[in-house]
């Protein structure tokens, strides 16, 4: 399980800095369903403000995903600045909070693990449609995929057409 621990007690005045590397071992704590590979630096500054704590997050690096069209590697830059607010409450589960950037913890909590929060920030920052720019997909992969798709369609349409196709290919 990946951990990005930030202490919440005794933070120095003016903000305390924390640096983490978010790489493949960080990703191992998650399901790898979106990001295949990650090379990213996380610079976090945690500062006590009145009764709450502000955590400024700066993420810089790149994420590798799979192209939805050709299934080859596709890189996206990670370039994120996000400020999180940590608030405290005696009954945190009773507090209505629909802001992802506000985290409510039980009073007296001494540290926070931001691994899931940072992972979510990265995933949300990636575009919904993950494809290479037009014309930059691997043409061999596209050709192979469309052939497989045709075979699949043929075998779905009639029970024997796919088989016929396979036999035809064997003969050739």
Tell me: does residue 66 bind Zn ion (CB under 5 A): no
- Is the CB of 67 or the CB of 151 nearer to Zn ion? 67
What is the x/- site pattern for Zn ion, positions 5-44, by CB under 5 A?
Answer: ----------------------------------------
- Is the CB of 80 or the CB of 142 nearer to Zn ion? 142
Tell me: does residue 80 bind Zn ion (CB under 5 A): no
- Is the CB of 76 or the CB of 88 nearer to Zn ion? 76
Tell me: does residue 145 bind Zn ion (CB under 5 A): no
Tell me: does residue 142 bind Zn ion (CB under 5 A): no
Which one-letter DSSP state was computed for residue 106? E
Cα–Cα distance between 136 and 104 in angstroms, integer?
A: 44
Using alpha carbons, select from 145, 149, 153, 150 the residue that is nearest to residue 69.
145
Contacts of 13 (CB under 8 A, 6+ apart): 48
Tell me: does residue 137 bind Zn ion (CB under 5 A): yes
Tell me: does residue 70 bind Zn ion (CB under 5 A): yes
Tell me: does residue 65 bind Zn ion (CB under 5 A): no
Using alpha carbons, select from 57, 18, 64, 16 the residue that is nearest to residue 39.
64
Least separation in angstroms between CB 69 and Zn ion: 5
The burial class, CB within 10 Å (0-12 / 13-18 / 19+), for 63 is buried
First and final C-alpha spacing in the chain:
51
Tell me: does residue 69 bind Zn ion (CB under 5 A): yes
Contact 76, 63 (CB under 8 A): yes
Binding segment toward Zn ion, per CB under 5 A, in 47-55, 57-65, 69-77, 101-109? 69-77
Contacts of 95 (CB under 8 A, 6+ apart): 89, 104
Site for Zn ion, rule CB under 5 A: 67, 69-70, 132, 137
């Amino acid at each position: 399980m990946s951990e990005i621990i930030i202490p919440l007690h005794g933070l120095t005045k003016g903000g305390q800095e924390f640096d983490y590397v978010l790489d493949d071992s960080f990703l191992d704590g998650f399901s790898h369903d979106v990001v295949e590979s990650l090379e990213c630096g996380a610079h976090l500054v945690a500062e006590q403000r009145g009764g709450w704590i502000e955590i400024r997050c700066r993420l810089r690096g790149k994420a590798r995903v799979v192209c939805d069209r050709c299934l080859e590697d596709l890189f996206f830059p990670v370039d994120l600045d996000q400020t999180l607010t940590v608030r405290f409450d005696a009954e945190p589960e009773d507090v209505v909070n629909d802001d992802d950037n506000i985290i409510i913890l039980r009073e007296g909590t001494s540290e926070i693990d931001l691994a899931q929060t940072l992972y979510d920030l990265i995933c949300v920052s990636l575009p919904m449609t993950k494809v290479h720019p037009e014309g930059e997909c691997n043409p061999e992969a596209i050709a192979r995929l469309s052939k497989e798709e045709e075979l699949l369609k043929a075998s779905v349409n009639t029970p024997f057409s796919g088989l016929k196709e396979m036999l035809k290919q064997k003969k050739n």
